[in-house]
């Protein structure tokens, strides 16, 4: 494996069971927050709930984005790799890159995933599943 490829996060992994535990923890923490803030207004409660929900949502979103086998440029035959949206050529693996995105809930989600370039037209992109 190349130096760039070291520490790659495997794609195609099973996702989901950990979300139930994280959701339960978030709501348990919210009950604790409510006990500490007994005079919180409905708006304040709503804001706290939204903040916690957005954090959990960002974790779920990142897990789902990284679960795509189609986005793994190390796996499979050249013809099975994701292709360039402009010219259709299979992408060449350029190693793992970090990308930080902002969710609709204004949470930063950091994804470490394969980055590919097109050998024909030179376009570079994170493959499908992003």
Residues 6+ apart with CB under 8 A from 57: 103, 105, 107
Percent of the chain residues topping a pLDDT of 70: 75
More confident residue, 23 or 16: 23
Q: How does pLDDT run across 19-77, given as a tens digit for each residue?
A: 888 888 988 999 999 999 999 999 999 999 999 999 899 988 888 877 766 556 666 55
Specify burial of residue 66 (Cβ count, 10 A radius: 0-12, 13-18, 19+).
buried
- Residue 81, pLDDT > 80, answer no
């Amino acid at each position: 494996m190349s130096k760039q490829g070291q520490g790659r996060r495997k794609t195609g992994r099973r996702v989901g069971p950990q979300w139930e535990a994280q959701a339960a923890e978030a709501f348990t923490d919210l009950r604790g927050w409510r006990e500490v803030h007994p005079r919180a207004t409905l708006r304040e409660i709503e804001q706290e709930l939204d903040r916690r929900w957005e954090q959990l949502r960002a974790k779920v979103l990142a897990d789902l984005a990284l679960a795509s086998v189609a986005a793994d440029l190390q796996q499979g035959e050249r013809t099975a790799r994701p292709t360039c949206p402009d010219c259709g050529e299979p992408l060449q693996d350029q190693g793992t890159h970090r990308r930080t995105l902002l969710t609709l809930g204004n949470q930063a989600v950091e994804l470490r995933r394969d980055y590919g370039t097109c050998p024909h037209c030179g376009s570079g992109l994170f493959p499908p599943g992003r």
